[in-house]
Amino acid sequence: MLRGLVVYGTYPLCLIGSVVLGLALLQAGLPAAAVVIANGLVFAPLCFALERWMPETPHWKWSALELRTDVLHALISNTIPSALFRLLFQASLVGVAASLEGFFGAAVWPVGAPLVVQLGLALLVAEAASYAVHRTLHETRLWPLHAVHHCSPHYYFLLVTRKHPLQAFFTYGARLSLLWMLGVPGDVLALYTGVTAANGYVQHTNVRMRTGWLGWIFATPELHRLHHSRLPEDANSNYGDVLIVWDVLFGTRVEPGDPERLYQGVGIAGPPVDQSYRGHLELPFRFGGRSEG
């Protein structure tokens, strides 16, 4: 009974829970940053506990070295580039929103709509930009930069934090730039960022989850695991971060099919990668002739 709840209920309950948590914190008057931090404090330990209890595939379990490295990614690779992007561009992009409002004589963004409706619209807009950047990282010469995220032979919840700082700068910018330019309110941005964080942890979790029809709307764990396959023809699919609708529209959504095929290996082709933080920073510049994935 309990295992069945984990398999079929973990993903939808976490999505709903992240929204409920965000709304509760905002209504309590807490700042937007608290929504993102709270989602990390709730969903990272939850995923850690579930992986320890009932992993989908035992040999995907994280190593101590990778755990230390990905903690550094969480503390450095994500926070510093995103702060730098905000410092350099947020004010000017918000200024574009003010100019558009003056030009049209009204706010471009539907600020009067319910928060949940605005959250859904924000996801659609941000995911369009994120999809374009993610697909570009896979299918062009920029792949070595993104290979840092894919280079683990394991699959576990903290992979969501694993990004080369240069990639994190552009990925963060792609997600937020359109929302800033459209004048999305701070509470909606907080909800969007919180849901994205929660989905990322659960999406990368090494726990058996079956999501059914939700896989036609959201980038579920089942779909995203295929994206981490060692085989390029599998990995170059399912690019959505939270939503899968843009993959559906552009024909890049792929069903996972036989799970035994994926269980043969995740990661990237070629010799083993140095999984230290320094090794990750140097990987794009030492990539050589590795295959795209």
pLDDT along the chain (293 residues), means of 10: 82 96 93 88 94 86 92 96 94 85 75 95 97 96 95 94 96 93 94 95 93 95 92 91 98 80 76 94 78 42
225-244 CB burial, b ≥16 within 10 A, e <16: bbbbbbbbebbbbbbbbbbb
Residue 251 lies in a domain: yes
What is the model's pLDDT at position 105? 65
Residue 292 lies in a domain: no
What is the model's pLDDT at position 109? 92
Residue 293 lies in a domain: no
| Residue 174: both structure tokens together | 């792609």
Q: Which residues constitute the domain of residue 165?
A: 2-285
CA dist 225 → 93, 158, 277 (Å) = 34, 14, 23
Residue 290 lies in a domain: no
Residue 255 lies in a domain: yes
Three-class HEC string of 150-167? HCCCCCCHHHHHCCCHHH
- List alpha helices for the chain, DSSP H: 2-27, 32-53, 64-72, 79-85, 91-104, 115-139, 143-150, 165-181, 186-203, 221-227, 232-235, 245-250, 259-263, 277-282
What is the model's pLDDT at position 293? 40
Tokens 């949940």: give the residue: 116
In total, the chain counts a number of residues equal to 293
Q: Which residues pair with 55 in a beta bridge?
A: 207
Q: Residue 228: which residues within 8 A CB-CB, separation 6 or more?
A: 150, 155, 159, 235, 266, 267
How many domains would you assign to the chain?
1
What is the model's pLDDT at position 287? 77
What is the model's pLDDT at position 263? 57
Residue 150 lies in a domain: yes
